[in-house]
């Protein structure tokens, strides 16, 4: 299960220079594994349609994060990105930032969700181990592989 951290943050943004689109400090005793979902455009305030490589960055505290380049095809005016999973130490401020390569993307509706994905990854691991155990049990009982 993935858990939304805080609330989605939505605003009209000028993406022509790197801009913070989500900011907060997750309430956590231990560190987290997080992933951001970034939605650009809402049907009214959209991307200009030029496309190109957008930069999405997750900063931790005062440390700038690595840029995650995301490609938007020409003609697309509404897009979404999912970042790579990032480790966040306990009680560390997080900022999700976006930069467009297009000068006309100066008034775009942006919504960002930040998710704690640690629980989802744990469930995937448990499911994989359970499936493997079931396969091994089948092999023991029937002497054949699935």
Split into its structural domains, the chain has a count of 1
Does residue 134 sit within a domain? no
The pLDDT tens digits of the residues spanning 5-15 come to 888 999 999 99
The pLDDT tens digits of the residues spanning 123-146 come to 555 555 555 555 656 566 666 665
SS (H, E, C) the chain: CCEECCCCEEEEECCCCCEEEEEECCCCCCCEEEEEEEEECCCCCCCCCCCEEEEEEEEECCECCCEEEEEECCCCCCEEEECCCEEECCCCCEEEEEECCCCCCCCEEEEEEEEECHHHHHHHHHHHHHHHHHHHHHHHHHCCCC
Does residue 112 sit within a domain? yes
The pLDDT tens digits of the residues spanning 34-60 come to 999 999 999 999 999 999 999 999 999
| Structural domain of 80 | 3-116
Does residue 133 sit within a domain? no
Distance CA 113, CA 55 (A): 17
The pLDDT tens digits of the residues spanning 74-125 come to 999 999 999 999 999 998 999 999 999 999 999 999 999 999 987 655 555 5
Does residue 62 sit within a domain? yes
CATH number at residue 75: 2.60.120.260
């Amino acid at each position: 299960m993935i858990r939304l951290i805080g609330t989605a943050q939505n605003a009209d943004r000028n993406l022509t220079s790197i801009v913070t689109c989500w900011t907060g400090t997750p309430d956590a005793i231990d560190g987290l594994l997080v992933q951001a979902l970034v939605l650009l455009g809402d049907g009214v305030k959209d991307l200009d349609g030029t496309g190109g490589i957008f930069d999405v960055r997750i900063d931790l505290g005062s440390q700038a994060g690595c840029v995650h380049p995301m490609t938007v095809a020409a003609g697309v005016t509404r897009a979404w990105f999912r970042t790579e999973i990032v480790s966040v130490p306990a009680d560390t401020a997080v900022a999700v930032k976006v930069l467009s390569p297009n000068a006309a993307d100066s008034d775009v509706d942006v919504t960002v969700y930040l998710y704690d994905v640690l629980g989802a990854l744990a469930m995937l691991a448990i499911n994989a181990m359970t499936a493997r155990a079931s396969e091994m049990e089948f092999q023991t009982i029937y002497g054949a592989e699935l």
